[in-house]
Amino acid sequence: MWMLPRHQMAAIPEVIGKYRVIRYLGDGGMGSVYLAHDAGIDREVAIKLVRTADESLRRRFRTEAQSAGRLKHANIVTVHEYGEFEAGPYLVMEYIEGLTLSKLIERGEPSTTREKLALLIQACQGLAHAHRFGVTHRDIKPSNLMVDHDGVLKIVDFGIARTSGRDLTVTGKVVGTPAYMAPEQIQGGQTDHRSDIFALSLVMFELLSGQVAFTGDSDYAVINRIVNGAPNPFTHPDADLERLIRPVLARAMARDADRRYQSASELAADLSGVLTRLGEPQASRVLDTEPQPTVPLPTPRRWRRWPAVVAIAATVSIAAWAAWPRRPGSVEPVNPVAVPERPADTPPAVVAPAVTPDTAPPLPAPPTAERPDPVKAAETTSPPPVTTRSPAPAAAIALPGAAESARVRTQLAAAKTAEDAGAYDKAVAAYQSVLNERPGDTVAIEGLASARRGQARARDAAVKARIAEAEQKLGEGGYDDAIAIFEAVLKQDPDSLEAVAGLGRARKAKAAEDALFRSRTKKPPG
């Protein structure tokens, strides 16, 4: 059994609160993790202990406990208790026997496509639940996804999680792991649940292809590729899977968050669709209002022979603060990176050769471009949070309340009329106005989600029309016009594979025409 160096063993406590420590397991985001025994109900638990006098770190640790403690789902590690110990605050969590997804990938497991897609769907289900409660993980990566001996995936280490409306990111720092960070995360911009979806898409790329999506000689090289470059080519020995998964990856990996899947449940639905089209059993139905049963993997028996027992959060996150003592393998937080923007005439990242209408499978309607807070509730039917107010005398609120209700009804009617007329921008503004006054209004929440879906459909229709116009110009020999249109499309939709392919063909045709013209106008020697 692996042991700590002698000078560190002395620091292992015998007891933490009411729990008897059995052994040291590893380091996780912000602290050390121990296996302990809960004598009260005779079970083993994992305890994360933070030894620090830094009040900001303690505050962040309490926030982790509050964020994770609210989440009850089969695919999220369960938090049992938060407490204060003489050495520092601690978090008592579910103990998981199994391996991290990163270890599984190293071992070439799981071996079947169905098992891999089932794990990804489980991750989507866990994230959908967290996002419903306004919690963004912000460090999704293979080492933060645990798989137990029964094939159940658990999302662990919400140590740098952000709760909607509260951002505890250190000023001037970016938290996350470079190879799995979303572009907006790298550039220090606003992050939300869609940053988790981008990170999960990179996990999907790695699990299915066996290689990391973005690589480089340094962290800077990696994040520069994420913002401005192209991922490594996605390849898979199963041609059908490659054809079906490519558009899913392209959408999930979109640089623009508005172009990505707008919910983890949307991504889960498409992954289930891929399984169906491959002729395999559908792995899961989309997450509804309650946490769904996790997707079991078909052959857990070989995983029961895993020799290693891995604790939750057994790897050091790059989010470890500068105040935290460095350990081997730890990574300091990085400053927001001023990565130069990709020039407008440079084709964006392409996951693989362009997907044409003949090769791309039909997908559900384009995503909505909603903001995270109101629309997360629209994607489920879970009740909105209740704001507690001090009671007021009935007479004091009767007339204003009635007036407010009448005004809201008028605004909702106007929003619906605008949406039905196809004036989606106007409808979105009207629904948002209602939500600014009444954040929990379910009619406005659902209407906003619907209007934004309409926005996305209209935008995609406009892009397709412009691409068709460019193709016509290209066929007529109007190469300059075609190039200009394709470039305009890419400014509006940087991830349009059709526009990337069309721009390449138009430039090639233009170059050939220019070469022919030069050869004809060249004066003969003498």
Q: Which DSSP string corresponds to 2-45?
A: ----HHHHTTS-SEETTEEEEEEEEEETTEEEEEEEETTTTEEE
Token pair in block for residue 522: 């060249």
DSSP three-state, residue 88: strand
CATH architecture designation of domain 98-321: Orthogonal Bundle (1.10)
Contact 99, 306 (CB under 8 A): yes
Residue 311 contacts residue 26 (beta carbons within 8 Å): yes
Structure tokens at 102: 């990163």
CATH class held by domain 6-94: alpha beta
Distance CA(412)–CA(432), nearest Å, equals: 10
Q: Compute the distance between CA of residue 380 and CA of residue 113 in angstroms, rounded to an integer.
A: 29
Is the distance from CB of 29 to CB of 157 less than 8 angstroms? Answer: yes
Distance, in Å, from the CA atom of 179 to the CA atom of 185, rounded to the nearest integer, reads 12
- How far, in Å, CA of 434 to CA of 82, rounded? 38
pLDDT digits (tens, 9 = 90+) for 204-243: 999 999 999 999 999 899 999 999 999 999 999 999 999 9
Q: Which fold has domain 401-513?
A: 1.25.40
pLDDT of residue 183: 95
CA dist., res. 439 & res. 374, Å (int) = 7
**Cα–Cα dist 355/296, whole Å:** 32
- Write down the domain spans for the chain: 6-94, 98-321, 401-513
CA angle 496, 502, 506 (to 5 degrees): 145
The predicted structure's pLDDT at residue 65: 77
The pLDDT of residue 290: 37
CB 252 within 8 A of CB 271: no
Regions of the chain with pLDDT less than 70: 1-10, 28-30, 64, 159-176, 280-404, 439-440, 495, 523-526
Which of 38, 42, 54, 139 is labelled catalytic? 139
Nearest to 238 by CA among 259, 266, 210: 210
Where do we find the tokens 């020039």? 343
Instruction: Give the Cα separation of 126 and 306 in Å (integer).
Output: 24
C-alpha distances (whole Å) from 417 to each of 275, 375, 421, 423, 430 are 39, 20, 6, 9, 10
Nearest to 123 by CA among 155, 91, 92, 165: 155
Report the first-to-last Cα separation within the chain, whole angstroms: 86
Structure tokens at 76: 């999220």
Cβ–Cβ < 8 Å for 481, 473: yes
Q: Is 139 an annotated catalytic residue?
A: yes
State residue 318's pLDDT score: 31
Beta-strand runs (E) in 118-188: 135-136, 145-148, 153-155, 162-163
* Token pair in block for residue 281: 């059993």
